[in-house]
């Protein structure tokens, strides 16, 4: 298997980390930092109703992040990626840190990272493959080291 492909697709031996939990924790820490900054500013400049209201608002946001059914109610989009055509298929990798996308108009299969960002802050594209027709099916192997796609040219392809 090519080293670059292996780097992104092989199962890690350590315990599987859930990217959504990391994202949630990162957001909570950013909110807590903002609360701390408001408190410090209020100590220097004086306490205000607006300051306390903002702290209460931020605390409620942190509580909402950790509610039981947070994914069902969560309003923020955790990741977005615009493809060059209709999305016909999208599936998570076994580890949950990547998504394989099959699109129509541009006949492309893409694997994007949910943990790595490109220079513009968008999910990093880890792999691309141009099929002979629109990609109607795309999924990872159970080990996460290969991708299988089905395309409009009546072919399936295993990419590894």
Per-residue pLDDT averaged across 109-114, rounded?
Answer: 92
Identify the pLDDT of residue 73.
Answer: 47
- The two structure tokens encoding residue 122: 């968008």
Identify the pLDDT of residue 70.
Answer: 47
Identify the pLDDT of residue 36.
Answer: 93
The SS3 assignment for 12 reads coil
Identify the pLDDT of residue 23.
Answer: 78
Query: How deeply is 144 buried, as exposed, middle or buried, from its count of CB atoms within 10 A (0-12, 13-18, 19+)?
Result: buried
pTM higher than 0.85 for the full model? Answer: no
pLDDT at 58 over 60: yes
Identify the pLDDT of residue 68.
Answer: 59
pLDDT at 67 over 80: no
Angle between helices 19-45 and 49-65 (to 10 degrees): 170
* Alpha-carbon gap, residue 64 to 150, rounded angstroms: 40
Identify the pLDDT of residue 84.
Answer: 76
Q: Residues 101, 114: contact at Cβ < 8 Å? A: no
Identify the pLDDT of residue 5.
Answer: 62
């Amino acid at each position: 298997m090519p080293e670059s492909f292996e780097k992104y697709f092989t199962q890690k031996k350590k315990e599987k980390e859930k990217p959504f939990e990391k994202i949630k924790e990162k957001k909570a820490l950013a909110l807590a930092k903002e609360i701390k900054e408001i408190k410090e500013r209020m100590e220097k400049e004086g306490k205000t109703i607006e300051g306390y209201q903002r702290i209460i608002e931020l605390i409620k946001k942190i509580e909402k992040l950790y509610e039981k059914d947070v994914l069902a109610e969560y309003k923020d989009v955790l990741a977005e990626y615009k493809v060059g055509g209709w999305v016909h298929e999208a599936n998570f990798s076994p580890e949950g840190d990547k998504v394989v996308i099959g699109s129509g108009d541009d006949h492309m299969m893409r694997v994007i990272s949910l943990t790595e960002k490109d220079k513009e802050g968008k999910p990093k594209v880890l792999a691309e493959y141009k099929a002979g027709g629109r990609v109607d099916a795309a999924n990872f192997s159970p080990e996460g080291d290969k991708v299988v796609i089905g395309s409009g040219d009546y072919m399936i392809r295993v990419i590894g």
